[in-house]
Amino acid sequence: MRSTAFRTLRSAAPVVLVTGALGVALYAYFQAFGSGLMDRVTGWTALSAALPLQMLGADVEVYGTIVASDRFAYNIVAECTLVGPLLLYVAAVLAYPAGLASKASGVALGLLAIGGLNIVRLVSLFYVGTYAPQHLDVVHLVVWQGVMVLSVVMLWLFWVQRSGRARAA
């Protein structure tokens, strides 16, 4: 009887660990709102979105956290940055039973992939807002929200699979 209870507790430990890590990540995310650090991140995100837009020929300027042209403008807020998705991804990576080197490479992979995807999202939203503004809300709030969540989960699963292979080797 005691061994069954111990096995049940032991099998629940990873779920508790991941849930706790995600809870800490969410707490950290909401603590960052309105902070000087988040102000810098939103400004950096605006600049990071403007650069590829300019490279693609869009005549945009950045005013703090606003990316603007004469046809469309948007304001980068905390939810537009990679911080939320990245914190959740990093919490899941750190909670997973893998070696420190694997976790470090997983965090680096997440930073690059989620950061890159977020820039693609912001660039696409600029063009949707410019050329099809009637679809902006759906693309912004439905399509891209789903894509970001699904991408974070898929990236984590990809990393878990690679991490498992590295551990088995």
pLDDT confidence of residue 89: 94
pLDDT confidence of residue 35: 75
- Of 146, 164, 156, which Cα lies nearest the Cα of 110? 156
How many CB atoms are closer than 10 A to CB 106? 24
Give the predicted TM-score (pTM) of the model.
0.83
Could you tell me the pLDDT band of residue 28, with boundaries at 50, 70 and 90? confident
**Is the per-residue pLDDT at 6 higher than 60?**
no
How many CB atoms are closer than 10 A to CB 18? 15
For residues 130-154, b (16+ Cβ closer than 10 Å) or e, as one string? Answer: beeeeebeebbeeebeeebeebbee
Could you tell me the pLDDT band of residue 14, with boundaries at 50, 70 and 90? low
- Does an H or E element contain 11, and which? helix 2-32
pLDDT confidence of residue 168: 55
User: 67 in the Ramachandran plot: left (φ > 0), alpha (ψ -120 to 50) or beta?
Assistant: beta
Higher pLDDT, 88 or 63: 63
Mean pLDDT to the nearest integer, 35-39: 83
Q: 101-157, pLDDT tens digit by residue?
A: 999 999 999 999 999 999 999 999 999 999 999 999 999 999 999 999 999 999 999
